[in-house]
Structures are given as structure tokens and as C-alpha cells.
């Protein structure tokens, strides 16, 4: 059951391409931002590293300010490949020695899919947060989820990730996290 269990000391949060020119064309862009921010704040409380990728920022803009403000202590990796598994990002990830990657971002069937495929191929366990990813169309979103599920990613949601990382109630961390998801 370890493949379905998150532990704060073995987890990394990866937010893929939540950028200025992508968000406006995404029907569920605000939901992705909101849920990614919940996860970023929880990661900050638990000392979980946060990585952000940006696809061709000269053309698609930078990460939206709402994400950047919540993620003051992150590593940002620019890319021109659809996969976020660039040499720079995978080297940084490898240095952490953590094997479970929580994934959010845009678009589910392109950059998220190709990054998840790369992570799984490199031996990482991937927890894809389905309410924190999106595509321009519902069909592409569903197809991306199905592909990643078939490849072995754990398809999960924001609250499941938060409560799995917390492990217990009646703590200050629990009360802080509860305020984020209400």
C-alpha cells in the first residue's frame, strides 16, 4: 500500500505551467490555481519542496502571480519541451532523494501527461491531483487522466493529498490546513 501513501519527508510538489497566457483559456483555471495554492501552503507548513515549470515563458508568460505569491520558496524551471522532465529539473529532483511527486498544472493531456510519463519512467511515484489539473476541453482532460492512470500514476484530489500528508487531526497543522480547504 506504500504506493498509495504520501509521507511529507518523501514528497515533492510539482506545479506545471500555470502561466499568464494559459490560464485565461482554461475553463477550470481558477480551480487549478486555488487547489494548487492549497497544496503549496500545506507544503510550506510541512517543509515539502515545491517545483514549478514554465513552458516557453517568452510566449506564454510567467507563472500567474497568484501562484508565485503563495510559492515564495520554490524552484522554477523554464522549458521549451512539453515534458517538465528537463535535465535541470530532474537533477534537482534527484538531489532531494524524494520519490513521491504530487503533480498539478496545465494542460492535462500535454505537458502534465508528458511530465508524468517521464517521472514514472524515472522510477518516481506520481500522485496526480485531478482537481488541480485541466485542459481546454473536457475530452482532452479525461483522456490525459486515463492515460496517466493506465501508466500507474495515482489519481487523487486536493483534500485526499492534504489529509494523507497530515495523517492525524487535533494538531496545529491540521487546524491550519482545515482553514485552507473550507
pLDDT digits (tens, 9 = 90+) for 76-120: 999 999 999 999 999 999 999 999 999 999 999 999 999 999 999
Place of cell 497568484: 66
Among the listed residues 85, 111, 131, 134, the single catalytic one is 111
CA 98 to mean position of chain CA atoms: 15
Q: Is the pLDDT of residue 34 over 70?
A: yes
Among the listed residues 2, 9, 10, 17, the single catalytic one is 17
Question: Catalytic site residue 100?
Answer: no
pLDDT higher for 73 or 78? Answer: 78
Question: Catalytic site residue 17?
Answer: yes
Q: Is the pLDDT of residue 69 over 80?
A: no
Question: Catalytic site residue 111?
Answer: yes
Give the rounded percent of residues in the chain with a pLDDT score beyond 70. Answer: 99
Q: What is the mean pLDDT of residues 47-52?
A: 95
What's the CATH number of domain 2-181, 3.40.50.300, 3.30.465.10, 2.40.50.140, 3.40.50.850?
Answer: 3.40.50.850
Cell matching residue 115: 511530465
Question: Is the distance from CB of 12 to CB of 49 less than 8 angstroms?
Answer: yes
Among the listed residues 79, 85, 100, 131, the single catalytic one is 79
Distance CA 127, CA 144 (A): 14
- Domain boundary assignment for the chain: 2-181
pLDDT of residue 53: 97
Q: Is the pLDDT of residue 176 over 80?
A: yes
Query: For the chain, percent helix, then strand, then coil, each to nearest 5?
Result: 50, 20, 25
Amino acid at each position: 500500500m506504500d504506493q498509495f501513501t504520501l509521507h511529507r519527508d518523501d514528497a515533492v510538489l510539482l506545479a506545471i505551467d500555470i502561466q499568464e497566457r494559459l490560464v485565461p483559456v482554461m475553463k477550470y483555471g481558477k480551480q487549478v490555481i486555488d487547489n494548487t495554492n492549497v497544496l503549496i501552503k500545506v507544503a510550506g507548513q510541512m517543509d515539502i519542496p515545491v517545483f514549478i515549470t514554465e513552458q516557453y515563458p517568452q510566449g506564454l508568460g510567467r507563472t500567474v502571480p497568484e501562484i508565485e505569491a503563495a510559492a515564495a520558496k520554490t524552484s522554477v524551471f523554464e522549458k521549451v519541451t512539453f515534458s517538465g522532465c528537463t535535465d535541470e529539473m530532474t537533477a534537482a529532483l534527484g538531489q532531494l532523494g524524494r520519490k513521491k511527486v504530487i503533480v498539478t498544472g496545465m494542460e492535462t493531456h500535454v505537458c502534465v501527461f508528458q511530465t508524468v510519463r517521464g517521472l514514472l519512467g524515472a522510477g518516481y511515484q506520481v500522485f496526480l491531483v485531478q482537481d488541480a489539473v485541466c485542459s481546454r476541453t473536457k475530452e482532452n482532460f479525461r483522456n490525459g487522466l486515463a492515460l496517466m492512470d493506465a501508466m500507474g500514476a495515482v489519481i487523487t484530489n486536493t483534500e485526499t493529498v492534504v489529509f494523507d500528508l497530515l495523517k492525524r487531526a487535533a494538531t496545529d497543522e491540521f487546524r491550519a490546513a482545515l482553514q485552507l480547504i473550507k
